[in-house]
Structure 1
Amino acid sequence: MTDPLANSYYAATAYPWRPRAFDGDYRCDVAVIGGGFTGLSAALACAERGFSVMLVEAETIGFGASGRNGGQLIPGLRWSASEMEAEFGRERADALFDLCWRDNRVQARIAKHGIDCDLKAGHLEAAWTPKDFAAMHREAEFLDSRFGYPTRIIERADMDAHIASPLYHGGVYDAHAGHFHPLNYAIGLARAAEAAGVVILEGRRADLILDGNPGELFIGDATIAARYIINAADSWIGDVDPDLGRYTVPIMNYNIATAPLVSADALLPSDAAVADSRFVLNYFRLSADRRLIFGGGERYSQTPPRDIAAFVRPFMAEVFPQIADTPIDYGWGGAVAVTMNRLPHIGRRGNVFFAHGFSGHGALVTTLSGELVADALAGTAERFDVFAALPSSPFPGGKWLRRPLATLGLLWYALKDRIG
């Protein structure tokens, strides 16, 4: 089967990357599984603390969701700040807010390492219904009054300053959010990690972890002996640890990139990234070379559509009928690991740390999570514990029924989108 990433705009415009050759002893302080944002940031942060680090990636750097996503940098988690306070109380909400809204580790890494990844400011959450807009309005006021976090409420009459579409009933603009080229960011992290001393092994699939002191990570015909192991394989975490795999199900998302648009500035005048409020949301933005990158629709089968562009085009045409027939140059997709409650699942079991299940809201929080794992590994676990204490539970149904039961639930919420 052809890999959907093969026709990715990101892959076509990525900077050259190949890890340095390695011919040495497979022994280190820290072995990291997964070459996405979480694994790369964890490896980099561990190396900066003086640990010897090896990172293994079954494919290539950024092959998973980190190199395939919509490129939207949205502060927070899938739960709103008011939901977190209602569920966890004021003190825990403060700690989560400081981590997930105020501490932008992506911007910090981009600045520190000079990563060229088309970083732009601004994100608009667009209301699909008047009820959604009322809820956004309340949340924006809560963010301002409770946390002093400023956003801008956009009334329906003023939406044309951001988006040339009649579909939406208003929105909320966040100047602290933004968008970027995710694969070039991943490659930038990989280059920074190598410069800090991390050994990166691409094309090496992790098969099994034996927890001990040291632990052992089996990678085909070789074994890495490590004091600590970090499992950041996300959608593939169950291939290495079947028990952790029970906590997520993979949802397939698809993106397209149009040909460069003469009308790009008219389409999205503020050049902000946009995501709407539907359960099966549309999300879109302009690339640095003035293409519309648009994600729409979900599939609960692992088999991609034969024609990704044809699958996504109707969603784009609904939002932007004025470009319904514009040429589409790229169409690609990938899996998003979703937890039961849409909160990430992060923790430690002996000498093995793990972080996964970012549920489609991970472009910012994955970098942070990797750094929090490095903190805990180095002996400072206070901020790590904030995330590790988030509630989590495995999907019901066991190995064979877990995905079908989750699919039924997701289809129900998708149906609610259609019937209002």
Structure 2
Amino acid sequence: MSDTAYALDVAPPLPSEAALPDRTDAIIVGGGLTGLSAALHLTRHGLRTTLVEAGGIGDGASGRNGGQLHPGQRRDQRWLEAHGGARLADALWRLGEEALALVHALRTELKADCAWRPGLIEACHTDAAFAEATALADDMNARYRTGHEVLDHTALASAIGTRRYVGGVRDPHGGHMNPLALVRALADAAHVEGAHLHGGTRAMSVRQTPHGWSVRVTRAGRTHEILAQTVILAGNGYMRGLSPYLDARVMPLRNYIIATERLTEPVIPAGEAVADSRAVIRYFRQDSEGRMVFGGGESFGRGPSDIAAFVRPYLAEVYPQLKDMPIVAAWQGTLGITRDRMPIIRRLSPGLYAGAGFSGQGLGLATFAGKVIADAVAGEASRLDVFSRIAAPPFPGGRLFQTPLAQLAMAWFSIRDRLG
């Protein structure tokens, strides 16, 4: 069984470069979408750029996520307006649109074989969730002319091949793709344009010096120090211990996904991606090869030993006819969530930047964050300034109590989902 279905369809990555530099203009910690996008755009701005990644390039959540590309921010526009005002909400909507446009521009420019398919459906599991989604769709159509389409129970069942949900909303601007294909294309382009990418290289500490920043890394048991004027922390949920600020605000969360064998008939006739309204969500789609890619279940600590067995009941709940379908791949990925589920894209101190906490909506926003930070380093900080206006409250209890409190919260949300 393959680790991910995505790796079945994508060429292997370039080998990591051997020699680590002593100095560079900018060093990026994290070889996912944020880090690779930052590397590509920093290099295009003319900066000597070094990227270090503890694992393989793109092996984290960027190459392992559900592959769904969502418009806007992780929070909806009404929430953003209530918490930040109408001007900030509108500005964040525009940035969300830019994020989508960037993904499409990059996959076209870099000839990334991402198997893009348009269409995204929110499936509502209760009457209350459907009423809320309908009101938001009406709002979005009136305010931004988004073309959201409300689907009643019958229309939704026809669209997604299950009668499990009350109703839903179709968003024509979202969609889905092979995320690993985009990661690999970004890595190849960044390398070709002069960025130095080092997999198997773990950042151990980041400290400020009188002459800039020092990043201490380990590779093959050896320690090395790299000096730079700029550091970008782009490891999302895999970055504990490098920044007390981020440790207090970004919590690692594991998600679990399976991919079935190719289905003989399409279950979702128009090929959209689907995410439901539960707090502990189910998200699913048929990929370009006809496999059902289905995500279900989360954990903050040790995950299940048999991911396929863990996720299969969620699949059977939504699609009983697939309960015995052979599974060709089962995997997990660690994302980073924030207390308000809004990303942290900002300057932490002069020369130190962060792009993290995408809370399950990183395919577009993480890619965009890399460019936003690179542009700010090069002197164009207007977009970074908008993201910096988002509040970033720490989790209560500090890092020591994050996981137990989060586990209690997850148990409560699971009970609430079951009770409706």
* Band the TM-score falls in, shorter-chain normalisation: over 0.9
Q: Return the offset for 1:372.
A: 0.7
Report the counterpart of residue 327 of structure 1 in structure 2: 326
Q: Return the offset for 1:347.
A: 1.8
AA matched with 1:365: L
Q: How does 1:385-396 map to 2 (within 5 A)?
A: 385-396=385-396
Contact 2:237–2:253 (8 Å) recurs in 1: no
**Alignment partners' CA distance in 1, 2:234 and 2:191:** 18
Report the counterpart of residue 346 of structure 1 in structure 2: 345
Report the counterpart of residue 233 of structure 2 in structure 1: 231
Q: Return the offset for 1:300.
A: 2.8
Contact 1:238–1:246 (8 Å) recurs in 2: no
AA matched with 2:227: A
**Alignment partners' CA distance in 2, 1:330 and 1:25:** 38
Match of 1:63 among 56, 59, 64: 59
Q: Deviations over 1:164-200 (max 9, x none)?
A: 1011112111111111111121111101111221000
Whether 2:37 is the aligned partner of 1:41: answer yes
Report the counterpart of residue 252 of structure 1 in structure 2: 254
Match of 1:215 among 213, 216, 223: 213
AA matched with 1:225: L
Describe the shift of the 1:334–1:115 C-alpha distance in structure 2 as closer, same or farther (beyond 3 A). same
Q: How does 1:196-211 map to 2 (within 5 A)?
A: 196-211=193-208
**Alignment partners' CA distance in 2, 1:89 and 1:398:** 29
Describe the shift of the 1:24–1:68 C-alpha distance in structure 2 as closer, same or farther (beyond 3 A). closer
- 1:227 is paired with a residue whose SS is strand
Describe the shift of the 1:225–1:250 C-alpha distance in structure 2 as closer, same or farther (beyond 3 A). same
Q: Deviations over 1:137-162 (max 9, x none)?
A: 11111111112222111122212332
Q: Please, which moves more after superposition, 270-279 or 218-227?
A: 218-227
Q: Return the offset for 1:409.
A: 2.1
**Alignment partners' CA distance in 1, 2:398 and 2:168:** 40
Contact 1:37–1:367 (8 Å) recurs in 2: yes
Q: How does 1:240-279 map to 2 (within 5 A)?
A: 240-263=242-265, 265=266, 267-279=267-279
Q: Return the offset for 1:24.
A: 6.6
Report the counterpart of residue 82 of structure 2 in structure 1: 86
**Alignment partners' CA distance in 2, 1:127 and 1:223:** 51
Match of 1:144 among 141, 144, 150: 141
**Alignment partners' CA distance in 2, 1:378 and 1:21:** 25
Q: Return the offset for 1:236.
A: 2.2
- 1:8 is paired with a residue whose SS is coil
After superposition, the CA RMSD in angstroms is 1.6
Q: Return the offset for 1:9.
A: 1.5
- Structure 1 unmatched ranges of 5 or more: none
Match of 2:103 among 101, 106, 114: 106
Q: Return the offset for 1:242.
A: 3.5
**Alignment partners' CA distance in 2, 1:346 and 1:376:** 11
AA matched with 1:215: W
Q: TM-score, normalised by structure 1?
A: 0.95
AA matched with 2:225: T
Q: Return the offset for 1:97.
A: 0.5
**Alignment partners' CA distance in 1, 2:20 and 2:171:** 48
AA matched with 1:63: D
**Alignment partners' CA distance in 1, 2:112 and 2:3:** 24
Report the counterpart of residue 26 of structure 1 in structure 2: 22
AA matched with 1:293: V
**Following superposition, which runs of at least 4 residues in structure 1 exceed 6 angstroms of deviation?**
none
AA matched with 1:120: R
- 1:75 is paired with a residue whose SS is coil
Q: Return the offset for 1:238.
A: 2.1
Q: Return the offset for 1:410.
A: 2.6
Contact 1:45–1:371 (8 Å) recurs in 2: yes
Q: How does 1:349-360 map to 2 (within 5 A)?
A: 349-360=349-360
- Structure 2 unmatched ranges of 5 or more: none
AA matched with 2:195: V
Q: Return the offset for 1:22.
A: 4.3
Describe the shift of the 1:119–1:367 C-alpha distance in structure 2 as closer, same or farther (beyond 3 A). same
Report the counterpart of residue 289 of structure 2 in structure 1: 289
Report the counterpart of residue 374 of structure 1 in structure 2: 374
Contact 1:249–1:406 (8 Å) recurs in 2: no
Q: Return the offset for 1:102.
A: 4.8
Describe the shift of the 1:20–1:250 C-alpha distance in structure 2 as closer, same or farther (beyond 3 A). closer
Q: Please, which moves more after superposition, 102-111 or 30-39?
A: 102-111
Q: Return the offset for 1:20.
A: 5.6
Q: Please, which moves more after superposition, 310-319 or 159-168?
A: 159-168
AA matched with 2:188: R
**Alignment partners' CA distance in 1, 2:338 and 2:7:** 28
Q: Please, which moves more after superposition, 400-409 or 203-212?
A: 400-409
**Alignment partners' CA distance in 2, 1:379 and 1:181:** 33
Q: Return the offset for 1:35.
A: 0.5
Describe the shift of the 1:308–1:103 C-alpha distance in structure 2 as closer, same or farther (beyond 3 A). closer
Q: Return the offset for 1:239.
A: 2.7
